[in-house]
Structure 1
Amino acid sequence: MTEAEHMAADAADDGLNRLYRRYAAWLARRVGARIGPDAAADVVQETYLRVAPHAAGDIRHPKAFLLKVAMNLVRDEHRREVRRSRALDLQRPPEAESPSQIDRIMLEDIIAGMPQIQRDVFVLSRFSGMTYPEIAQTLGISVKTVEWRMSRALEYCASRLDL
């Protein structure tokens, strides 16, 4: 019996509770590997609140559905954290965050010496604040290519800074 058929059979037995008992621990482990066990518990609870309006019998692939909802919640929370962080950065006095003139020149030299394809990804990510999918769409390349170019750009910077 497939998971979907098994869930359809259990739908009469209080579907959401059954869904929770069956997959909550699994979902907590999967999400916990990315964000830690404490935050994962909150995400699992929120996931089931989001899933509650759906009839358990209508969910064809429960694990995939639950994981997708949970990962969307994790991404949403990450975006909120980034916005909060940026808002706090804007509240700081400019003197506190501006690098020294020497550091700024050194950084400009490192970036200028970087290969063009890596520099484009680096600048869009670090200075324009774009996400990897946004960069991929802008440059017409895959997200994997963006990740690869960014890792190469960071390696380049680290080698020039003797890290």
Structure 2
Amino acid sequence: MSDVKPVGVSVSSGSRRHTRLEGLYRRYSPWLVARLRRRFGTDTEDLVQEIWLRVAAIEAGLDIRHPRAFLLKVAFNIGLSGDRQHRRRRQILDSAAPLETMVLEPTQNAAVQIQEIVLALPQPLRDVFVLSRFGGLTNNQIAEQLGISPKTVEWRMTKALAQCAAELRR
């Protein structure tokens, strides 16, 4: 039986680390997914992916004696950082002028329509849109405020504008 390796992958000293990480993943991933689904419901894919990305980044120098406890601690830390990010985003958006108090022209019906379109945007897109268009922040400032990359800000703004334009054409 021959070993098949993906193109562009070489065996190096990092392969032991990769093998150890792969072993952790194969052994504990089904357990982790089941545990998180029981706790958070069916939408856990992003969380599981984030956990394994963090484990891959920090696992190299660690002697993990209790992998399940370690994985749950990483999940807990991600949840904490997500909560902090959510609170920070909420503070920033609360400090910006609320949509309800903004005067939109030219007519009241158009203002209501635009407000409804903006409020209907998914939260991440709406946050970027509001900070850019109503808060006057640059992409770099928005990225810093929300704790995301400028490229993510750019992508979200493009999506938000496309969704707004599509709704306005209806």
Quickly name the TM-score band, shorter chain normalised: 0.3 to 0.5
> Could you state the TM-score of these two structures normalised by the residue count of structure 2?
0.42
